[in-house]
Structure 1
Amino acid sequence: MTEDFAATLEEATPRATTAPGLFVCFEGGDGAGKSTQVRLLAEALERRGREVVVTRQPGGTPLGSQIRQLVLHGDHVSARAEALLFAADKAHHVDQLIAPALAAGKVVITDRYTDSSIAYQGAGRDLGADEIRALQHWAVGGVLPDLTIVLDVSPAVGRSRRGDLHDRLESEADAFHAAVRQGFLDLAAQDPHRYLVVDAALPVEQIRAVVAAAVEQVEQVEQVEQVERAEQGGAAQQPPAAGGGGA
């Protein structure tokens, strides 16, 4: 699993973000265990001295929390309105929290990002993955994670893990969650350099180890790019060589 990811990483284009920070996202269906893995990764990185910002979508800002409450727990919201509200949440979230944190060199770990909208509204609500992808990427201004970890869970397992408390999306039928799951897997297949798919049925500690190894690989790319940027900046500041005089 990590060997395959390492192989694709060696062939990868530069990281998705040009900011000095590191951007990691956890995606997957409801009940996949994302919040647990977000916490474990954040704790591990903080022990290594990295400054970490943990957030989620929707709900990573005060405005996002209001949108979360409205869409997931309020009165009926149409599929298109749902997609637009989630896009507004992401635009505000990037502007207010994610972009500033990355610019400051911090690690941002988010529980859900643009891919959730592509999977849930594009595939699950059948609004079209390409249309929702264009909307979401426009909303975030092209700020995409350096690494997206998809915790793959079947609808049946996800349902058993969620228990009795359900928001509007969690309450959807298994057919909806099956479409969402396939939406995530399709996204990962389209860009294997930036995605790592992990079986969410694995033990928590095994998932933690796989995630940690993948993040370390991306950090190595991050460090190389930082050195290259520093060297390019130094070269740009060098005074031009003195030219020889001619008679």
Structure 2
Amino acid sequence: MGIAKFCKATIGGLGAALLLTAGLATTAFAAETVTTMATTAPLNLRDASNINGNVMDVMPQGTSVAVHGMTNDGWYHVTYQDKEGFCYYQFLNFEGSQDGTVRDGKTTTMYATDPLNVREQPNTDSRILGSLKVDEGVPVVAKHDGWFTVTFNGVEAYCYGAYLGFGQGGYKADPPSEATDSTMNQLTTTAPLNVRTEPSTNGTIIGSFSAGTTVNVLDVAGDWYQVKFGNTTGYVYSLYLS
């Protein structure tokens, strides 16, 4: 399992393969190229780059945090109020909101960590405008739901953010994460499973997964997992995920 590699240029255009990431890349991130991003929802700060990392703090929505880099499976290495830890990529944006608005107007150069398709729209069905080579830089101005808005050959375009990093040569967390297995971010349903608006049986059912479905897990709330469900998020009971 592992986070879906939606933009891999080398796999049939769509690149909808799954990647098992054995660990982080080997080159340290250059501290002087740190960028600032903003939380788009209350966001857990964890001591490891996976959903089982201990929650050290909760960063309120709209909080600016210093970002040192991003692991290959989508965890940002950040500093918040002198605490250094990790948070999941989906709820950090470039000083903006979930609609892609950039408050500070800055452009951040990011670098492809794998061959990466550049698309006309933020989805895998969109036309491919070109591709980035490993370590090739691209200006990034915003992010929404995992897709980064970039400037490519003078036009606005999109890349899947899990395969863009802040430095050339890859990224290594410093201090390193104790748990780097990207399979922590995806689990499989062992039975038909309801998706609810809240981590409780009192939450409204917004849909369901069939047995054997691979589910993208975003966070842990007691005995419940927050998961990706279509274009939104919801909660499922952890007993039926493995």
| TM-score, length of structure 1 as denominator length | 0.25
Structure label with greater radius of gyration: 1
Question: Which structure's residues are more often helix, by fraction?
Answer: 1
| TM-score, length of structure 2 as denominator length | 0.25
Question: Which structure's residues are more often strand, by fraction?
Answer: 2
